[in-house]
Structure formats: structure tokens, C-alpha cells
Amino acid sequence: MQAVLEGLLYIQGDIGLTLQQVMDIFEIDEDEAKNLVLNLKNYYEQENRGLRINYLGNTFKLTTKSEHRNYYQKLIENPKTHLLSSQALETLAIIAYNEPITRNQIDEIRGVDSSYVIRRILAKGLIKECGRDDSAGRPILYKTTDEFLDYFGLATKDDLPKIDSLEEEDTSKTLNDLYQSKYSESN
């Protein structure tokens, strides 16, 4: 099974395999699938192979190792890479921590018009439309994609860097919820 998984990961390349796909293909349950992937991952590490199994954007992918990058760069003549503008990064951060979010809400936080930068990151597949808000005009809601996570080398949304003040907001929210539930109970 491990060998088959290795082959599957090779074929899938940057599309990768989700845990669900592993479960479906081998007809095994979630824990078994997790173990299977983990074992192959450990095997690769132990044997000190040139490849590594990475969990990026909610999928397993066979990748090269970052510590070997200097060698690869010698191979590639034109190492010019396209990086996102700070505008795009800023907008992505706002979306990632507030999704789903409308363009208006993004504009409000940034203080500038964001339609161009939204179009750019939409075209790059880093965000996608996910329905419409119920407010006036039913504006489009945006959220980040698995490609967004992969782009920043993150496995899941939980791996996003934490913002302190955001967590404060969260606790106040839960407190508020508690308060409200108490309130409704006493009613």
C-alpha cells in the first residue's frame, strides 16, 4: 500500500492527495489513512530521501526539500520568481482572517479601493467567490482557497499566524454568546 501511495503522490504532483482520496482509493478509514501517509512520510525521512511528503493546502504533496534549494537554483538559469505585491499580501491577510468577506468590507479596512487587487488574487486562484452577502445589493463574498494555503506553505487554516487582538475579539464574542444564552435562559 505504501508503494501505491508513493506512486499516487508522484502522479498527482502539485494537485496532491486529500485524506479523503486516500481513504476512498484504499477503502480504509480515516485513522488508517492517516497512518499510511504518516508511515510513508517517516520512511522518507529515515531513508534520507531527496523528496519529502508535505501537507500543504489541505492536501498531501510530494515535494523537494527546502534545504536543497541552493542546488536547484544552480540548475535553473532564470531564478526570477514572481512575488505578490504588499497590496495583495495585505488584502489576502484581511480576507483570510475575516472570511467570508465582501469587497466593501475589505475597502473599509484598507481605506482604499481594492477591486483591482481582488481581481488579481482571484485570477491567481488564491481566493474565490463563495456566495453572496444578504446585505443591500447582495455583494459577492470572498474566501481564501487551498491554493492560498499552499502558496504560503501552510497545511490548514489553523497554521495561519495568530493575531493577538483577533483572539481578544473572539473571546469577547464567546463571552457575549454566553451572556446571551444566559439571558435567553432566564427568559
Partner 1 sequence: MDYNVKIEEFEGPLDLLLHLIKQSNIDIYDISILEITNQYLDYINKMEELNINVASSYLVMASELMEIKSKSLLPQDKKDNIEEDDEEVSREKLINKLLEYKKYKELTPTLKELELKRKDIYIKPPEIQTNYVDTIKNNDDVTIDDLLQAFRSFLDRKEQEKPLLTKITNKEYSVKKRKANIKEILLAKKRIEFSELFDTVNKPYVIVTFISILEMVKEDTINLKQDKNFDKILLELKVK
Which residues lie near partner 1 (CB under 8 A)? 10-16, 52, 54, 61-66, 69, 72, 77-78, 81, 83-84, 86-87, 89-90, 92-94, 97, 109-113, 123-125, 128-129, 145, 150-154, 161, 163, 165-166
The strand pairing partners of 63, in sequence order, are 52
Task: Report how far residue 12's alpha carbon sits from residue 119's, in angstroms, rounded to the nearest whole number.
Answer: 28
Select 156 or 180, whichever has its Cβ closest to partner 1: 156
- Measured from the CB atom, the residue of 86 and 184 that comes closer to partner 1 is 86
Question: By C-beta, is 41 or 128 nearer to partner 1?
Answer: 128
Nearest approach in angstroms of CB 184 to partner 1 is 29
**Whole-number minimum distance, CB 30 to partner 1, in Å?**
23
How many other C-beta atoms are found inside a 10 Å radius of the C-beta of residue 26? 15
CB of 165 to partner 1, least distance (A): 6
Smallest gap, in angstroms, from Cβ of residue 90 to partner 1?
5
Q: Which residue number, 118 or 151, has a Cβ lying nearer to partner 1?
A: 151
Quote the cell numbers at residue 136: 443591500
Backbone angles phi, psi at 58, to 5 degrees: 65, 15
CB atoms < 10 A from the CB of 119, how many?
Answer: 10
By C-beta, is 32 or 128 nearer to partner 1?
A: 128
Order of strands across the sheet with 101-102? 101-102, 140-144, 127-132
Please tell me the distance from the alpha carbon of residue 143 to that of residue 129, in angstroms, as a whole number.
Answer: 6
